[in-house]
Structure 1
Amino acid sequence: MEQIEKVTQALDNMAIDYQLVHHGVAHTTEEADAFIEGIEGVRTKTMFLTNKKKTAYYLLIMDDSKRMDFHLFEELTGAKRVKMASDELLKDKLGLQPGIVSIFGLLNNADHDVQVYFDEAIMGEARMSFHPNDNTATIFVGTEDLQTFLKNIGYQYEILDLED
């Protein structure tokens, strides 16, 4: 099954509404944003992180225009020596390729060992956008529905205040 189909099937099975927009290949958030200009929903970036020993895994969802402050993330979560996970680890844990990191990669996380975090700044938005595990489309999902999705696949999440 293709990645997009896996995501939409999961959402359909949960009776979660979404808007799927097919577009050209997007290698960066800027390219993706250009394809979905004018559609309501916060543009997100999803970062897959790990600690130096690769014993803890984190998925951080934030506004795509915001810069990641690793020190603040460590301070707020108690995590130590956090860095971007390698391409190999991304493939192993989430079944994804670089540049296509998405909250929907959790559908591929057989070990169920990824901690999920949202930046507080986007939690008041009505909808969020993500790649549906494929960079030739963008999917828009209601923020409350996204929380339902996480609950239904057995993930808790925390909200962090990643102030600018």
Structure 2
Amino acid sequence: MTGPYENLVLRHGRPEDSRLPKEMAVYDLLDSLGVSYDRVDHEPMATMEDCRAIDQILDIEICKNLFLCNRQETQFYLLMMPGSKLFRTKVLSAALGSSRLSFAPPSRMEELLNLTPGSVSVLGLMNDTQGRVKFLMDVEAAKPDYIGCHPCMNTSSLKIATADLLEKILPAMHHDVTFVEL
């Protein structure tokens, strides 16, 4: 691999250097649950296209995570789906019985999940202590043995066993999963 991603290194476990508290809180949670994970540190990833090189290093497909809400901003959803799959608002809106879903404003993302655009992650649900965000997972995203996501910062990517996400991490964050077909 050449270009900006040629010096990326696959690592196991938490970083040894100093990181922002919200990222370190993710590693603290995973370690406290005995969840094994691999990590790649990289430049900020703003798009799924940027993540393709990371996919190859982690030998997974980074999941697309979308923070959505209804028109009134009274219902919030975090949707995890395969990174290569196209998102169709109409299909999800119909599945949820919501007349119209859209991307939630960045201010609500920060308020509810302590996340910023580009770093949306299922792991941000650890910050939703009031349970205001419903977690949705496309059935296809749950099929592989591993999922890929950011540790609440888009300068690292993690490889976590799907079973650990569903059986350990989500329960520890007091969130359930609702599977959807998109």
TM bucket by the smaller chain? over 0.9
Structure 1 distance, partners of 2:66, 2:175, is 17
* 1:5-84 alignment, distance < 5 Å: 5-84=24-103
Unaligned runs of 5+ residues in structure 1 are none
Counterpart check, 1:158 vs 2:166? no
Aligned length: 162
Q: 8 Å contact 1:42–1:125 — kept in the other structure? A: no
* CA distance, structure 2, for counterparts of residue 154 and residue 79 of structure 1: 24
1:111 shift after superposition: 2.1
Shift, 1:13, TM fit:
0.5
TM-score by length of 1: 0.93
Q: For residues 106-130 of structure 1, give each alpha carbon's deviation from its aligned partner in whole angstroms, at most 9, with x where no partner exists.
A: 1111321111111111211010100
Q: Report the counterpart of residue 149 of structure 1 in structure 2.
A: 169
Residue in 1 that maps onto 2:116? 97
Distance in 2 (CA, whole Å) between partners of 1:92 and 1:123 is: 27
| 8 Å contact kept, 1:21–1:36 | no
After TM superposition, give the deviation of residue 84 of structure 1 in Å.
Answer: 0.3
The answer to whether the Cα contact below 8 Å between 1:41 and 1:126 also exists between their aligned partners in 2 is no
Q: Alpha-carbon deviation of 1:17? A: 1.0
Could you list the runs of 5+ residues in structure 2 that have no partner in the other structure? 1-19
Q: Which residue of 1 aligns with 2:158?
A: 139
Percentage identity across paired residues of the two chains: 27
Measured in 2, the distance between the counterparts of 1:69 and 1:116 equals: 17
For the Cα contact (< 8 Å) 1:4–1:134, is it kept in 2?
A: yes
TM-score by length of 2: 0.84
- Point out which structure has higher relative CO (alpha carbons under 8 A, 6+ apart): 1
